[in-house]
Structure formats: C-alpha cells, structure tokens
Amino acid sequence: MLSLLKKNKWWGDNMKEFNPKLTIGIFSALVGILFASQVKMNIQMVTPVTINSIQRLELEIKSLRTEVEDLKLNIEDKQNYLTLIEDSNHSEKNIISVLEDERDKNMLLAGFKTVEGPGVEIVMFDNINSDELSFDFNDGIIHDVDMQNILNDLRVAGAEAISINGERVLSFSDIKCAGPVIRVNGRSLGTPFIITAIGDPKLLMASVSAPGTYAEMLTKVYGIGIQPYTKDKLVIPAYSGDFSYSYAKTVQ
Amino acid sequence: MNKKREKLAIIGVSLVLGLILSVQFKTINKTVGNGVLPTQRAQELANEVSKLKSEKELLTKQLEELENKVEQYEKEGISHDTYAENLYKDAMKYRMLAGYTDVHGPGIILEINDPPIDPQISDSYGIVDELDLLLQVISVLNAADAEAISINDQRYTSFTEIVRAGNHIEINGVSTGAPIVIKAIGNPDTLESALNIKWGIVWQLRNYDYVVNLTQNQDIKIERYRKAKEFIYAKPVEEE
C-alpha cells in the first residue's frame, strides 16, 4: 500500500485519466448508503419483519378463517333449530318431535347409534416371519402407539365412525394393545385386529397405504401386516359401554 | 499481472453480491407478493388478523345469545310434560357426550414446553416433531377415565385429528404450537398418578428434555367442540 502511494499510483499519474479505483470507491459508498437506509427503515418498526413472521401471520389468518366459518355454520344450525321450536310452540305434540330429532342427532354424533356407509376395512396382524430382519421380538408386534397413530391418520382423512373388532372407538375409548390381545373400552379382543372406518373410501385408503404414512412404515420396516380393503357398505355398531359423567358438569 | 488479478477478484465479488441480492429479492417477492414491501405486507396481515378476531368475537357472542334463547324456548316447551322433559335431558346428555357443551370439574393441567435450545446443538426439536407423544398422553388420560380432554383449548372428540402442518400442529383444523397445554377432567389423583408413574409418559417427556408441568386443579373449564360436524358417509341404521 505504502509503495503504491510512494509511486503516486493511488490517484493515477493524471487526474483526468479514467480511474477504476475511484469508480469502485464511489459505488461501494452508494451500496453502503443503500444498505444503511434499508436497515434504518426496519428499525423504525418496533419488530423487524422477517419472512418467518409473515408466514406465521398467514397461518394465523388461515386458522381464524376456519374458526369463523365454523361459527357461522353453528349459528345457522342454531337458527334453524330455533325456528323449528318457535313453530312448534303452538302445539304440544311438535316440541316432542323436535326434541326427538335433536336427541337422535346428538346420539349419532356422540357415537351411540349404529351406522352404515362406505369406507375401509383394515386387517392388521403381527410380523409372522420371526426370522426376518427384526432384531428384537418386540419390533414385530403391534403396540399402543401404532394403533393410536393409525386411528389418528384415519381421523385426518375424515373418518366419521371407527371400530376395532366390532368395538366402537370414541374420544374417551381406552385402547391398550400388547401382543395377541387388544383391549378396547375395557374388552379384550384377539388377533387379527380389524379396524373398520366409515368415510370417503379413497381418502381413508390413502391414509393407510400411501408412501410416507405411518402404516406404510410399519409394514416396510417392522413387517407388520396391514391389509386395507375399500368396502361399499360397512356397519359400525353403537358404543356399547356405559359411560357416565361423575366429575364433569355442564357450564351453566 | 497484479492489476489483472485485482480486477478479476472485484468482478468475482460483484458477481456474487449481485447473485445474492437477486436471490434475496426473489425469495422475498415470492412470500410477500410482487411489488409490496415486507413491512407493508406485514401491516396488511396484522390488520386482517385483528379484523378476523373481532369478527370471531362477534359471532361467538351471537351464538351464545342464540343458545340462551334456544334453551329458554326448550325449557318453556317442556315445563308441563314429563316425557318432553326426559327427552330434553337425553338430548342434553348426548350433546355433552358428543363434546358440544362447555364442561367444568376437577382434573389436571399438563403443560409441555419445548426443550430449551442448546446452542451446542444447532438442530433443535420440539413437540411438533413428536406428535406420537401427544397421542400417548391422550391414551393414558383415557385409560385413567378422563371425562373430557382439551389440547390448547381444542376439545378432543371422536373426530379430532392431530396433524403436523409445517412448523405447527393442527388440531380440529386450528393451527397451534408449543407450549402445549392439555386439560383433563376426571379424578385428579388417578389422572396425576397415571401420568406420573415411573417410566410413564411424563417421565418419558422429561427424559427427552421437555419442560413438563403437571398440576391438579379443582375447577377446570373445557370448552366445547366448535366444528359443525355433519355425517356425509355414515348413515344411522334403524334398529328394531
């Protein structure tokens, strides 16, 4: 650097001569000013805007929209029901049929009615070839977690009713699974396990057979047998246990 | 020779700088939208969020009013008829079982915070990556006779799905994330001991470095399921 200056090459021999260093210097200064102004602009806002925060906002909007949509549906539902009751208020007979309908609707949603419809039937069994790659005897057996994951996948695919070996699975169903026996709603059921789900057969089928699903992983890695079949008509029985609330109370 | 090298270096640096700038610009454009500054876009989105929030509040109020009115009418209608009264009680019972009523009672609150970020390990993980654990908590609670369960205020029903969506979790179609707060109504002692058992689910969570907080509470409120569910495929079978 010093030698450059000594030779007076910094500014060139002639000032009028085109000097690349000078141009670069000016441009660097310009770019610097641009950057600085950009950064200053963001500092003015209290929180810096990042791509992440924008995506988060977009996600929040999406879920808020679904919530608002659901609320609107609920309100419409209630309004229809209200007009029904209002119309029925003139005669004694009608309120009873309105209430009966309401009770039946709630029974259906709660899983206390036998239902039929299209869907899938999945036959599951433990790994039979014990000498296959499984290093551990435990690996080839269907566990609780496996069952929960498969049920969750079916719900993601919009399953409307699910049963295991004829035992209705509800939100409060307790499923314990170890070895050749599965306990659903406190009842022991033997292998093979047959999961029945009513819903869109194509979606349900995809949720237990498409690449990357939990079910595929179970078959490929652990050799657990999972054979799904689509069916045009399946029957799923009503919940047979007696469930009663002893702690939970309705909020008045 | 020296000059040539200098120039080459500068050309190289300028090229890289130009590339970086254009890539950055393109990615921002893609997520933010063409011709809008990110700050503007963020402002827009924030406005929309607050608008939707107030709409949601309004609709919730409207629904509440309607529900009160319905209840009033129902009670009026059944006041002098035991059969109607029993019908009404049944209807309410099954509505509760389907998860369509707010409930309260004693139970437990389980809070699961993601593991603190360890600067030595760049790859952090969280509950979003291990949804299995949430399914297991639900299963344990059900085994301990929980009567109502919610995850981050989303009621757990027979249709509730827990699914990963990017960096978030979607429950009942609503996106949420860590920390996870699971509330369950039931016998507080049974619920707590079922979760706390040695080698049990809380032990397992703590083993994976999650910060877990389990408390009993004498009055937990669990909100109703908000989705209007209508069966499209499943039809009731008339029993004789």
Q: Which residue has the higher pLDDT, B160 or B29?
A: B160
Look up the CATH architecture of domain B105-222: 2-Layer Sandwich (3.30)
The answer to whether position A10 is within a domain reads no
Q: Do B99 and A60 touch (CB under 8 A)?
A: no
Asked if residue A55 has pLDDT above 80, the reply is no
pLDDT tens for B171-200 read 888 888 878 899 999 999 999 999 888 888
The answer to whether position A196 is within a domain reads yes
Q: pLDDT-derived band of residue A4, with 50, 70 and 90 as boundaries?
A: very low
Asked if residue B164 has pLDDT above 80, the reply is yes
Q: Which residue has the higher pLDDT, A138 or B112?
A: B112
Q: Are both A97 and A141 inside the same structural domain?
A: no
Contact list, A89 vs chain B (CB under 8 Å): 73, 76-77
Q: pLDDT-derived band of residue A43, with 50, 70 and 90 as boundaries?
A: very low
Contact list, A24 vs chain B (CB under 8 Å): 10
Q: Are both A145 and A209 inside the same structural domain?
A: yes
Mean pLDDT in residue range A152-180: 87
Mean pLDDT in residue range A36-62: 69
The answer to whether position A192 is within a domain reads yes
pLDDT tens for B18-77 read 998 888 777 766 766 655 666 777 788 888 888 888 888 898 888 888 888 888 877 777
Residue type, A206: A
The answer to whether position A2 is within a domain reads no
Q: Do B235 and A62 touch (CB under 8 A)?
A: no
Q: Which of B159, B166, B226 sits opposite A67 (nearest CB)?
A: B226
Q: Are both A145 and A33 inside the same structural domain?
A: no
Main-chain dihedrals φ then ψ at residue B222, nearest 5 degrees: -120, 125
Q: Are both A151 and A40 inside the same structural domain?
A: no
Q: Are both A157 and A202 inside the same structural domain?
A: yes
Asked if residue A22 has pLDDT above 50, the reply is yes
Q: Which residue has the higher pLDDT, A37 or A200?
A: A200
The confidence score (pLDDT) of residue A15 equals 53
Contact list, B159 vs chain A (CB under 8 Å): 155, 159-160
Q: Which of A66, A78, A107 sits opposite B66 (nearest CB)?
A: A78
Q: pLDDT-derived band of residue A70, with 50, 70 and 90 as boundaries?
A: confident
Q: Which of A51, A63, A172 sits opposite B31 (nearest CB)?
A: A51
Is the bond leading into A192 cis (omega within 30 degrees of zero)? yes
Q: Residue holding tokens 């309401």?
A: A102
Report DSSP letters for B136-199, one per residue.
HHHHHHHHTT-SEEEETTEE--TT--EEEETTEEEETTEEE-SSEEEEEES-HHHHHHHHHSTT
CA pseudo-torsion sign A107, A110, A111, A115 = positive
Q: Residue holding tokens 């029903």?
A: B157
Tell me which of A51-60, A202-211, B138-147 is least confident.
Answer: A51-60
The answer to whether position A13 is within a domain reads no
How close is the nearest chain A Cα to the Cα of B213, in Å?
A: 22
Q: Are both A127 and A179 inside the same structural domain?
A: yes
How close is the nearest chain B Cα to the Cα of A84, in Å?
A: 10
The answer to whether position A9 is within a domain reads no
Whole-number CA gyration radius for chain A: 33
Contact list, A120 vs chain B (CB under 8 Å): none
How close is the nearest chain A Cα to the Cα of B7, in Å?
A: 9
Count of structural domains within chain A:
3
Q: Are both A137 and A178 inside the same structural domain?
A: yes
The answer to whether position A138 is within a domain reads yes
Asked if residue A11 has pLDDT above 80, the reply is no
Asked if residue B227 has pLDDT above 50, the reply is yes
Spatial distance between the Cα atoms of A67 and B217, rounded to a whole number of angstroms: 28
Q: pLDDT-derived band of residue B170, with 50, 70 and 90 as boundaries?
A: confident
Per the DSSP assignment, residues forming a β-bridge with B220 are B105
Q: Are both A146 and A178 inside the same structural domain?
A: yes
Q: Do A249 and B105 touch (CB under 8 A)?
A: yes
Q: Which residues contact A19 (CB under 8 A, 6 or more apart)?
A: A11, A12
The confidence score (pLDDT) of residue A146 equals 86
Spatial distance between the Cα atoms of B149 and B108, rounded to a whole number of angstroms: 10
pLDDT tens for B132-142 read 889 989 999 99
Q: Which of B63, B175, B231 sits opposite A160 (nearest CB)?
A: B231
Instruction: For chain B, give every domain's residue range.
Output: 45-97, 105-222
Q: Are both A134 and A83 inside the same structural domain?
A: no
Q: Which of residues A110, A137, A155 is at a domain's end?
A: A110
Q: Which of B105, B132, B236 sits opposite A247 (nearest CB)?
A: B105
How close is the nearest chain B Cα to the Cα of A17, in Å?
A: 16
Q: Do A115 and B235 touch (CB under 8 A)?
A: yes
Q: Are both A152 and A232 inside the same structural domain?
A: yes
The answer to whether position A4 is within a domain reads no
Q: Do B147 and A246 touch (CB under 8 A)?
A: yes
The confidence score (pLDDT) of residue B107 equals 92
The confidence score (pLDDT) of residue B174 equals 84
Q: Which residues contact A227 (CB under 8 A, 6 or more apart)?
A: A122, A123, A124
How close is the nearest chain B Cα to the Cα of A129, in Å?
A: 27
Structural domain range at position A205:
116-236
Mutation target vs A (from B64, B90, B94, B220; most A CBs, 10 A cutoff): B94
The pair of structure tokens assigned to A128 is: 């039979």
Q: Are both A122 and A184 inside the same structural domain?
A: yes
Q: Do A250 and B81 touch (CB under 8 A)?
A: no
Q: How do beta strands B154-155 and B235-236 pair?
A: unpaired
Q: Do B158 and A81 touch (CB under 8 A)?
A: no
Q: Are both A30 and A95 inside the same structural domain?
A: no
The confidence score (pLDDT) of residue A38 equals 67
How close is the nearest chain B Cα to the Cα of A18, in Å?
A: 15
The confidence score (pLDDT) of residue B15 equals 93
